[in-house]
Every structure is written in structure tokens, then in C-alpha cells.
Amino acid sequence: LLTANNGQTLIIEAGVRFDTIKKALQYNLRNVVGCIITHEHKDHCKAAESMMLAGINCYSTAGTLDAIGVKSHRAMIIGKDQIFSLGDFRLKAFGVKHDVSDPVGYLINHEECGTVLFLTDTYYCEYTFPPLNNILVEANYCQKILDDRLKRGENPKVVRDRVIESHLSIDNCKALLKANDLSKVNNIVLIHLSDKNSDEKRFKREVEELTGKTVHIAEAGLEIDHFNDSPF
Ligand SMILES: [Zn+2]
Ligand SMILES: [Zn+2]
């Protein structure tokens, strides 16, 4: 949830039960301006249908909404690179590289949090972005952990290969951060860590060392108060 001081709330993804989302909203759906979804895997959209039934508009690409398969006037198709507004939030979707029909990441802009990058479920990112103020980015796995688990027989090769072809490694995450202007970045939140193929303490330390920024590991219930647009 991205919540502005006036209460307006943007929901990013619908990958947990709707009950969990409602609880986080303190059962007040009135200020929700909409929900943006990246792709049709359940860990990103499982609550979409319930949300639409509760009157919340869900936004994604035609390919994603089609794959989710919910017929509703609240399923809103957005085009890539089209700028749209939800309340005081301005948004733009851009294509990413994942094994689904039409996945996207989002750039979100609001005067209180500046420009926020939301990027997950992509094995690579070919873009550099306009100056960012906050970053939520996938750091799914570490190549060495993945390879060691394969050697020990803990991960079948097909699973390992699928991870590499669909998710962002910590090394590619760091390369992406390095390729972008981070001078105005306030927070970096590492998201979508694999339970078995990641090492959250090390990932956090490595990204802190690389960027000198405040780095958070996403976990249920994490709240960040000072998501505002100045690092000072
Ligand atoms: Zn996915
Ligand atoms: Zn996912």
C-alpha cells in the first residue's frame, strides 16, 4: 500500500488474501484509488476478483487481465508507456521479462513520495529510469546458492533453469541499481526474495555497501514512515 497524508491509498499487487489487504487498510476501502497488477501469477493477483467485487478497480495490461480471466467492469486495461492517474498518483507501466503473457513494472509518481520504481518478476531490466526517489525491486536469488542447491540435489535442474529465466538475481539487481541515478533515492526495498535461494542479511548488506542508502527487506507488516521524496 502507498498511502498519502490525505489518506489516498494505491494498492500495488493483489497477491495476498483480500482479508489481509482489508486488515492492512483497517477495513476502510473508501480512500483506495485503485490496484495495479504486474502479471497473472497468483502471488501477484489472487485477490483481484474479490477486490473488484468490493468495488476496487484493478489495472493491468490486456494480456494480464485476460490471463487472470475475471470479467468485470472494474478490470481496467492500460497500455504500456501510457501515463494514467489514480487519485493524486501518476503512473506508467513498462514491459518486463517474465514467463507470462504481458508482464509489466510500474513507475509511480506522487508529490509526497516522488518517483517510485516497482519492479519484480523479471530476469533482466533493459531500462534506465528517470531520477528515482524510492525503489522497490526484486532480489530473488543468488546464483551460487542456486547452483549449490542443484549440486546437493535439493533443486531439480528445471526449477533452477526456470528461476534464471524469470527472476532477478541479486547480481542483476545490483547492476540495475548501479546503472541508475540514485542521488535522490531515499529507500530501497528488496522484494520477492526466494525462501530457499536467497540470503536476506547478505543481500541487504551488499546493497547498502553498493548504494549507501537505507535498505529494507520486504516482509509481512513492514511499514516505512519516511517514504517522502527527499533523502535529507
Ligand atoms: Zn511471476
Ligand atoms: Zn512472483
CA dist., res. 213 & res. 185, Å (int): 7
Which one-letter amino acid corresponds to residue 161? D
CA of 192 to the centre of ligand 2 (A): 7
CA dist., res. 113 & res. 124, Å (int): 26
Q: What is the pLDDT along the chain (232 residues), one digit of tens a residue?
A: 999 999 999 999 999 999 999 999 999 999 999 999 999 999 999 999 999 999 999 999 999 999 999 999 999 999 998 999 999 999 999 999 999 999 999 999 999 999 999 999 999 998 999 999 999 999 999 999 999 999 999 989 999 999 999 999 999 999 999 999 999 999 999 999 999 999 999 999 999 999 999 999 999 999 998 777 655 4
- How many CB atoms neighbour CB 221 within 10 A? 6
**pLDDT confidence of residue 126:** 86
CA of 122 to the centre of ligand 1 (A): 8
CA of 41 to the centre of ligand 1 (A): 5
Which residues surround the ion ligand 1 when the cut-off is CB under 5 Å? 41, 121
Ligand approaching nearest to the C-alpha of 191: 2
**pLDDT confidence of residue 135:** 97
| Contact criterion met (CB below 8 Å) for 56 and 69 | no
Q: What do you get for the CA distance between the two ends of the chain, in Å?
A: 23
Q: Which residue has the cell 517514504?
A: 227
**pLDDT confidence of residue 230:** 59
Give DSSP secondary structure letters for 4-16.
-TT--EEEE---S
β 114-119/134-138 pair status: parallel
**pLDDT confidence of residue 226:** 73
Ligand approaching nearest to the C-alpha of 162: 1
**pLDDT confidence of residue 111:** 94
**pLDDT confidence of residue 229:** 60
Ligand approaching nearest to the C-alpha of 98: 1
| Contact criterion met (CB below 8 Å) for 12 and 2 | yes
CA of 232 to the centre of ligand 2 (A): 33
Which one-letter amino acid corresponds to residue 95? G
CA of 43 to the centre of ligand 2 (A): 5
**pLDDT confidence of residue 231:** 52
Which one-letter amino acid corresponds to residue 198? S
Which one-letter amino acid corresponds to residue 215? V
CA of 166 to the centre of ligand 2 (A): 9
CA of 44 to the centre of ligand 2 (A): 6
Ligand approaching nearest to the C-alpha of 165: 1
Which residues surround the ion ligand 2 when the cut-off is CB under 5 Å? 43, 121
